[in-house]
Amino acid sequence: MLKKIILIVLAVCIVNLVAGIIYFEIEPENTDINYAPADSQKTTDTTIRFNSNGKLKILHIADPHLDNDKHFDSSIWVIANACDVEKPDLVVLTGDNTKPYETEEETKKLINSLMNIFESRNIPVAVTFGNHDSEEGPMSRKDIMEYYKTFSCVISAGDEVNFHNCATFNIPVLASDSDKVKFNLWVFDSGDYDEDEPRHYDRVRTEQIEWYKETSAKLKEENGGETVNSVVFQHIIVPEIYDVLKKVDSKKLFSEKHLYNENEYYMFDPENTNYGTLNEYPCPGYYNDGQFDALIETGDVLAMFTGHDHTNAFGVRNQNIDIFTSPMTRYKGLAYTTQYGYRVVEIDENDTSKYTTRVERLYDVFDHDYAKEQKESGDKYSKRISYELAVKGRTQKIFTEIYQSVVEFFTGRTVTYPDYK
């Protein structure tokens, strides 16, 4: 019986894969994506407030790693169509947005194409950086941020902020029917690499933490002494992630080693885990300036949303703060499409002490029904890439479900992506 099941599964996978190869090239042909700067006359309102339904919907795009390679056009398509599907009130880019090039011109071309997605749709976008945005090339972190600021859709740090990690700011969220601040979004630039340990990741620095505490206190004072609830977005996860994972034997199936201690292995602790998959070890900064302790002490943060670890997508709870990782948002043909996707976060104006969040995988969003809609639109490229995603995604989803079943069997962990309550 088991052999029959295995043969059926393999047959389905082979048929889907062959169909995909026959119907499409493995990589879509390059198309004429707009490299030009966005229309300088076009403006986007970057004042963030709850919408007319009393909701705030945030689309979290993590680690698109846009590069002028064979995956560029399809990655742009995925991000643009994610915006069309979700219709967010705000997009947050948490770093490793584009690959830096040897010339400013090439780097700016990639940024132009990314920003045109949001500018053309009048969607405000908050931009911070990861470890790769300014890793090489002639443009410094501040130079890149100044260029992002030329787009009317971009929300970024004001000129008064002069941190080493410059893409650090907050976004007050106003009421739907007034200018009262009802919620707040913290956006931290978690740096790239430590200057003393260049092979290790950076962290949110002391000067940023002091700014956070001062700004939080000011918001509270302006709110009549009541705490303004908030969430955090940043690239690199905090070191405290390992405090809520379970240390296990190195031979334990599906365990992951500690980034900085190869003799320690970890997996989810059911007592602290909300949901998700741990496909690679978390990669926090090497040193710790106390960001998470400050968030706990201040008491205004409900959750943190991070990127950086491309194939992880989970939610864990450390004390009274939820820590989430979001998957990489790009398309690379067959490679890793099972893990890639995006995250949506929603807050209700009537109860800002709660939120919901969900992860959407590319193969769930861009399925055959979506492909049929694209076919009717008459756009040949959209038809091509959407059907490719649908066909290959169906095959990959089968493998994912098998993998998840194996993980659940051996670890007892539920591997699903429900709305978090």
pLDDT in tens, 4-54: 444 444 554 554 555 444 444 434 344 344 444 555 455 778 899 999 999
419 within a domain of the structure (yes/no): no
**For range 336-340, the mean pLDDT:** 62
How far from 329 is each of 137, 299, 353, 378, CA to CA, in Å? 23, 31, 28, 26
| Predicted pLDDT of residue 298 | 98
Q: Are strands 313-318 and 154-155 parallel, antiparallel or unpaired?
A: unpaired
Instruction: Give CA–CA dist 342/361, Å, rounded.
Output: 7
User: How far separated are the first and last CA of the chain, in Å rounded?
Assistant: 40
In 3D space, the residue among 125, 146, 111 whose CA is nearest the CA of residue 44 turns out to be 125
Convert the pLDDT of each residue in 174-232 to its tens digit.
999 999 999 999 999 999 998 888 789 999 999 999 999 999 999 999 999 999 999 99
- Gap between the Cα atoms of 98 and 249, Å rounded: 38
Q: Are 108 and 367 in contact (CB under 8 A)?
A: no
Report residue 163's pLDDT band, with 50, 70 and 90 as the boundaries.
Answer: confident
The CATH number given to whatever domain includes residue 7 is: 3.60.21.10
How many domains, in total, are found in the chain? Answer: 1
- For range 111-120, the mean pLDDT: 96
Instruction: Classify residue 220: in a domain, yes or no.
Output: yes
**Coil, strand or helix at 84:** helix
Would you say residue 368 lies in a domain? Answer: yes
pLDDT for residue 362: 85
Q: Does residue 417 belong to any structural domain of this protein?
A: no
- Beta-strand ranges (E) seen in 285-330 are 301-306, 313-318, 321-325
In a domain, 234, yes or no: yes
Residues of the domain holding 316: 2-411
| Angle, vertex CA 350, rays to CA 348 and CA 352, nearest 5 | 60
